[in-house]
Structure formats: C-alpha cells, structure tokens
C-alpha cells in the first residue's frame, strides 16, 4: 500500500497546482489521474493571467506537471474507483492497488455533455465548436454564433454572447419559444433569433456548420456554442456523504474543505466559476490548509 501524506485525485489545473504547492511544502504528495482533463481541449487560452500570448491547455498541463515533479510530486495514471474513510484519513482504491493518506483533495472536474459529432475534437481545436463564452467569446467577435442546448440555458448563453456579435441565434434542443415566454422580451430587445423547431441534424462543412432544424429550415454557423450542461465528477464525494449543490457540485467552506473532515475539493468539481484561474486559486488555498493541518514537518 502507498502512503503519501496528501493524495490528489485529478491532474487538471487544480490537482497539478495543489501538487506544486504541496511538494514545495516538502510533503509527500501523490497525484492519481484518469486522463482527459477538460483543459486538454483548450486550443489556446487567452484569458489565463500572465500568458499574454495565450497558452494551449496541453502546454499548461505539461508545464504544471513538470513543475510539480521538479519538487518531488509523484503523478500516476489510474482511476480512483472508491474512497473510504478510516480513523486517521482515507483509503483510495485504484485498480488493484490501495493508497492510504491522511488528507485527500478531490480535483476531479466535470465531463461536458455534447452532441454526437464525428470529429468533435478537431472542431473544438479549430474553434468552431466551443463550450465557454467566458473563456473565448472575445475570439468569436462579429462571427455568426449559434447556441445549442435546452432553451433556457441556450438563451442565457446567447444573451451573454451578444456582447461580442450582432449575429447570435438560439438552436433549442427541447422546445421552441412560446408566445408568452418570459425569455421573449430580452431576446427581442437583443435581436437574438430563436429557431422555430428543435434541432434535427448538424452538418459539418470545411469552414462552417449547418444546423438543420426539424421544420427543415437551415442555419449557417461559424461558431457553435454548446449549452448542454455537464456531468460533475462527484462520485467519490457522494460515496463519503459530502454535501453537494443541486447541480452536483461539491460544496466547500473555508480553505476548500468539504463537509467531510480532511477531504478537500478544488476546481470545476466545486460550486463556482469553471475557470482555470479559479481552479488554481482554490488549489493553492486547499494545499496550504492541508499542509498546515498535518503534523509539522520541521527539517
Ligand atoms: C474547450 C474548452 C476551452 C476552455 N477554455 C478555457 C479558457 O480559455 N480559460 C479558462 O480559464 N478555462 C477554460 N476552460 C475550462 C477549463 O478547462 C477548466 O475550468 C479546468 O480544466 C478545470 O480544471 P480542473 O482541474 O478542475 O478539472 P479538469 O481539468 O477537468 O481535470 C480533472 C481531472 O480529474 C480526473 N479524474 C476525474 N475523476 C477521477 C478519478 N475518480 N480518479 C482519477 N482521476 C479522476 C480527470 O480524468 C481529469 O484529468 C475551457 C474548457 C473547455 C472544454
């Protein structure tokens, strides 16, 4: 059985930042990661503070992993299948192996819901399919933008996107806009059109996407934003009875502690803004408290 002082589950920006801090606090830290951080999908992030020329998600993850390993953090691939509490901490079960640790950080992120598009990853890297207007709407300025998702969620995102383009439309997945819909007035004021029928098909062409609606009307789209929600990776937290909000995000209090003693959470898996800068900030807070709450490690 492995015995780190701190076990970090997830090697996205949150988990890797925590590993950098904990390793620099001279703690024995082990990061276990199942792969496919959300950040891997970022073609170039232009809003990460300090990266003035932008940085790709893969490059950021590689830099963080190198930085964490430089100070002695161990990073391994594997899926933590279950987590149990013991008198003095936790035991994590990872494919035939057990890890015992007095402090655990959950940095397990979320999984985006998405439509079945054959070359989804290429479309995301090319910028024609996107998830997060806060992240990259600036780079869609004046393009023909459509938002795909359940009506209410898509309307919210579309109104946000109107800051960047006059050509914004909504492609509802569930229902169309009713005459007395409360969404109607703000949409009319913003000049945002809503398709009269739900989406039937998406056809990807070289430089655009064609959205074909159930009534056969077609829309040409330069940038398709998805507003389809996400699955929060909170299984381990739920197993231990940690409080989560109605969406499933783990609730944290001071120092990123969950409602379970010695169990911390940081990044997209918690309630709050799903952004790298938030994830790394929360990870720094969690890691510092994890260190201060462990027996002192004087040199
Ligand atoms: C296309 C796209 C573009 C984006 N652009 C930006 C941007 O420009 N700026 C910005 O701030 N944000 C951006 N984001 C959001 C950003 O990627 C996330 O906020 C960030 O990755 C969250 O980091 P995290 O560490 O919380 O989670 P993640 O990066 O998702 O990492 C979680 C990790 O935990 C692992 N994991 C989950 N469960 C387990 C388990 N049981 N055992 C082991 N490992 C597990 C997963 O495999 C994953 O590797 C973008 C997101 C997308 C999809």
Is 152 found in the same domain as 100? no
CA distance 104 to 31: 10
Would residue 168 count as lying in a domain?
A: yes
Q: Atom 8 of ligand 1 has which residue's CA nearest to it?
A: 45
CA distance 90 to 87: 8
The pLDDT of residue 116 is 86
Is 146 found in the same domain as 219? yes
Across the range 211-240, mean pLDDT stands at: 96
* Percentages (nearest 5) of helix, strand, coil residues in the chain: 30, 30, 40
Is 222 found in the same domain as 190? yes
Would residue 149 count as lying in a domain?
A: yes
Q: Is the per-residue pLDDT at 206 higher than 90?
A: no
Across the range 116-144, mean pLDDT stands at: 94
Where is 33: in which H helix or E strand?
Answer: strand 29-33
Q: Which of 179, 206, 226 is the last residue of a domain?
A: 226
pLDDT digits (tens, 9 = 90+) for 14-25: 999 999 999 999
Would residue 54 count as lying in a domain?
A: yes
Would residue 96 count as lying in a domain?
A: yes
279: left (phi over 0), alpha (psi -120 to 50) or beta: alpha
Across the range 47-54, mean pLDDT stands at: 97
Is 95 found in the same domain as 222? no
Q: Is the per-residue pLDDT at 218 higher than 90?
A: yes
Question: pLDDT-derived band of residue 117, with 50, 70 and 90 as boundaries?
Answer: confident
pLDDT digits (tens, 9 = 90+) for 281-296: 999 999 999 999 999 9
Question: pLDDT-derived band of residue 169, with 50, 70 and 90 as boundaries?
Answer: very high
pLDDT digits (tens, 9 = 90+) for 51-97: 999 999 999 999 999 999 999 999 999 999 999 999 999 999 998 89
Is 53 found in the same domain as 19? yes
Is 207 found in the same domain as 127? yes
Tell which wins on pLDDT, 157 or 96.
157
In this prediction the pTM is 0.97
Is 100 found in the same domain as 28? yes
Ligand 1 centroid–CA 171 distance in Å is: 26
Is the CB of residue 41 below 6 angstroms from any atom belonging to ligand 1?
Answer: yes
Q: Is the per-residue pLDDT at 128 higher than 90?
A: yes
Question: pLDDT-derived band of residue 198, with 50, 70 and 90 as boundaries?
Answer: confident
Ligand 1 centroid–CA 164 distance in Å is: 25
Ligand 1 centroid–CA 81 distance in Å is: 19
Q: Atom 6 of ligand 1 has which residue's CA nearest to it?
A: 135
For residue 287, the SS3 value is: helix
Ligand 1 centroid–CA 12 distance in Å is: 5
Across the range 239-253, mean pLDDT stands at: 97
Would residue 298 count as lying in a domain?
A: no
Structural domain span for residue 174: 120-226
Please state the domain count of the chain: 2
Closest atom, ligand 1, to C-alpha of 46: 8
* E strand map for 97-217: 97-101, 103-106, 110-112, 129-130, 145-149, 168-172, 193-194, 199-204, 209-213
Closest atom, ligand 1, to C-alpha of 80: 42
Is the CB of residue 75 below 6 angstroms from any atom belonging to ligand 1?
Answer: no
The pLDDT of residue 118 is 78
Would residue 299 count as lying in a domain?
A: no
Q: Atom 2 of ligand 1 has which residue's CA nearest to it?
A: 42
pLDDT digits (tens, 9 = 90+) for 261-279: 999 999 999 998 999 999 9
Ligand 1 centroid–CA 92 distance in Å is: 21
Is 48 found in the same domain as 32? yes
145: left (phi over 0), alpha (psi -120 to 50) or beta: beta
Is 174 found in the same domain as 137? yes
Of 160, 173, 261, which Cα lies nearest the Cα of 213? 173
Q: Report the percentage of the chain scoring pLDDT > 90.
A: 91
Is the CB of residue 282 below 6 angstroms from any atom belonging to ligand 1?
Answer: no
Ligand 1 centroid–CA 232 distance in Å is: 11
Is 236 found in the same domain as 107? yes
């Amino acid at each position: 059985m492995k015995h780190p002082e701190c076990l970090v589950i997830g090697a996205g920006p949150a988990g890797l930042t925590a590993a950098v801090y904990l390793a620099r606090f001279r703690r024995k830290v082990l990061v276990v990661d199942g792969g496919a951080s959300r950040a891997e999908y970022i073609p170039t992030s232009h809003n990460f503070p300090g990266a003035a020329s932008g940085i790709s998600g893969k490059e950021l993850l590689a830099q963080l992993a190198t930085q964490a390993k430089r100070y002695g953090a161990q990073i391994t691939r594997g899926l933590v299948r279950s987590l149990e509490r013991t008198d003095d901490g936790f035991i994590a079960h990872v494919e035939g192996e057990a890890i015992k640790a007095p402090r655990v950080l959950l940095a397990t992120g979320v999984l985006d819901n998405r439509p079945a598009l054959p070359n989804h990853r290429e479309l995301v890297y090319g910028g024609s399919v996107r998830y997060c207007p806060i992240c990259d709407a600036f780079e869609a300025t004046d393009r023909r933008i459509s938002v795909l998702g359940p009506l209410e969620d898509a309307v919210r995102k579309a109104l946000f996107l109107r800051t960047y383009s006059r050509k914004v439309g909504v492609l509802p997945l569930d229902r169309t806009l009713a005459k007395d819909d409360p969404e109607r007035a703000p949409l009319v004021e913003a000049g945002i059109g809503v398709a009269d029928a739900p989406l039937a098909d998406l056809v990807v062409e070289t430089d655009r996407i064609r959205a074909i609606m159930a009534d056969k009307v077609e829309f040409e789209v330069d940038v398709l934003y998805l507003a389809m929600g996400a699955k929060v990776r909170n299984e381990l937290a739920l197993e231990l009875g940690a409080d989560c909000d109605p969406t499933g995000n783990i609730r944290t209090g001071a120092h990123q502690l969950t409602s379970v003693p010695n169990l911390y959470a940081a990044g997209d898996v918690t309630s709050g803004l799903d952004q790298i800068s938030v994830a790394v900030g929360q990870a720094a807070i969690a890691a510092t408290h994890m260190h201060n709450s462990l027996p002192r490690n004087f040199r």
